[in-house]
A and B are shown apart, each in its own frame.
Chain A
Amino acid sequence: MENDFRDLSTKLFSQLQANEVLLINYEEEKSDFSRFNHNRIRQAGFVHQQYLKLDLINNKRQCSASFNLSGELESDLSQAQSLLNNLRSQLSYLPEDPFIHYATDINNSSFYGENHLPSTEKTITQIIENAEGLDLVGILASGEISQGFANSLGQFNWHTDYSFNFDWSIYQNSDKAIKQNYAGKQWNTETFQEKISFAQQTLPILSLESKTVSPGKYRVFLSPSALHELFELLNWGGFGLKSHRTAQTPLIKMIKDGVNLSDKISLTESHKTGLTPNFTQQGFIKPSEIQLINNGRYKDCLNNHRSAKEYGESTNCNIEHPQSLLMNAGSLAQNEILDTLDTGVYISNLWYCNYSDRNNCRITGMTRFACLWVENGKPIAPLGVMRFDESIYHILGDNLIALTKDREEILSSSTYEKRSEASARLPGALVEDFTFTL
Chain B
Amino acid sequence: MNLSNAATLFKQVVPSSIDYWTLRLSVDTVESLDVRENILQPPSIKQSCGAHITVVHSGGIAYAATSQLTTAGFTQAIDQALRWLEITKQHSLVRAEDYPRPKKSGSYQTPVVEAWNNSTANDKISLLHAINKDLNISDAIVDYQATLSRRETESLIVSSDDIHIEQQFHFIVPGFYAVANKGSQTQMRTGGGWSSARQGGLEQLASFNFPTSAQQTAEEALALVDAAECPTGKMSLLLLPSQMMLQIHESIGHPLELDRILGDERNYAGTSFVTEDMFGHYQYGSELLNVSSNASIPEEMASFAFDDEGTPAEKTYLIRHGKLERPLGGASSQTRTHLPGVANARACDWNRPAMDRMANLNVEPGDKSLEQLISSIENGVLMDTNKSWSIDDSRNKFQFGCEFGRVIRNGELKEIVRNPNYRGISANFWRNLTSVGNDSTFEVWGTPYCGKGEPNQMIHVGHASPACVFSNIEIFGGA
A398 to B474, CA, bound (A): 28
Chain A stretch 358-386: residues in CB contact (< 8 A) with chain B:
358-360, 362, 364-366, 368, 385
- A318 → B minimal CB distance (Å): 16
Residues of A within 8 A of B353 (CB): 43, 45
A64 to B66, CA, bound (A): 23
Q: How many residues of A contact B (CB 8 A)?
A: 92
Q: Mark A334-366, 1 if CB is under 8 A from B, else 0.
A: 000000000000000001111111111010111
Q: Are B67 and A48 in contact (CB under 8 A)?
A: yes
Q: Interface-forming stretch among B284-292, B296-304, B323-331, B452-460?
A: B452-460
Interface centre among A36, A37, A64, A100 (most CB of B within 10 A): A37
A133 contacts partner chain B, Cβ-Cβ < 8 Å = no
Partner of A46, one of B61, B81, B355, B454: B81
Interface centre among B63, B267, B401 (most CB of A within 10 A): B267
Residues of A within 8 A of B41 (CB): 97
A364 to B421, CA, bound (A): 11
A204 contacts partner chain B, Cβ-Cβ < 8 Å = no
Residue ID in chain B nearest A138 by CB atoms? B267
Q: Are A71 and B70 in contact (CB under 8 A)?
A: yes
Q: Are A385 and B397 in contact (CB under 8 A)?
A: yes
Q: Which 6 A-B pairs have the closest CB atoms?
A: A357-B478, A45-B63, A68-B67, A139-B454, A40-B93, A415-B455
Chain B stretch 66-111: residues in CB contact (< 8 A) with chain A:
66-70, 72-73, 76-77, 80-81, 83-84, 86-88, 91-94
- A421 → B minimal CB distance (Å): 14
Q: Are B143 and A415 in contact (CB under 8 A)?
A: no
B423 contacts partner chain A, Cβ-Cβ < 8 Å = yes
Secondary structure call for the A interface: strand
- A169 → B minimal CB distance (Å): 5
Residue ID in chain B nearest A55 by CB atoms? B42
B263 contacts partner chain A, Cβ-Cβ < 8 Å = yes
B137 contacts partner chain A, Cβ-Cβ < 8 Å = no
- B268 → A minimal CB distance (Å): 8
- Tell me how many residue pairs across A and B have CB atoms closer than 8 Å: 258
Partner of B393, one of A45, A97, A368, A416: A368
Partner of A70, one of B73, B93, B390: B73
Interface centre among B43, B262, B421 (most CB of A within 10 A): B43
Q: Are A387 and B84 in contact (CB under 8 A)?
A: no
B282 contacts partner chain A, Cβ-Cβ < 8 Å = no
B186 contacts partner chain A, Cβ-Cβ < 8 Å = yes
- B390 → A minimal CB distance (Å): 4
Interface centre among A66, A75, A120, A438 (most CB of B within 10 A): A438
A332 to B270, CA, bound (A): 32
- B258 → A minimal CB distance (Å): 13
Q: Are B88 and A387 in contact (CB under 8 A)?
A: no
Residues of B within 8 A of A141 (CB): 455
A49 to B49, CA, bound (A): 9
B351 contacts partner chain A, Cβ-Cβ < 8 Å = yes
Chain B stretch 445-479: residues in CB contact (< 8 A) with chain A:
451, 454-458, 477-479
Residues of B within 8 A of A257 (CB): 183-184
B153 contacts partner chain A, Cβ-Cβ < 8 Å = no
B23 contacts partner chain A, Cβ-Cβ < 8 Å = no
A63 to B31, CA, bound (A): 11
Give 26 A-B contacts (CB < 8 Å), ordered by A residue.
Answer: A45-B62, A46-B81, A47-B352, A48-B73, A49-B351, A51-B67, A63-B43, A64-B44, A65-B44, A68-B49, A71-B73, A86-B45, A90-B121, A97-B41, A141-B455, A247-B181, A248-B188, A252-B184, A352-B392, A354-B388, A359-B185, A360-B479, A362-B479, A364-B390, A387-B390, A438-B425
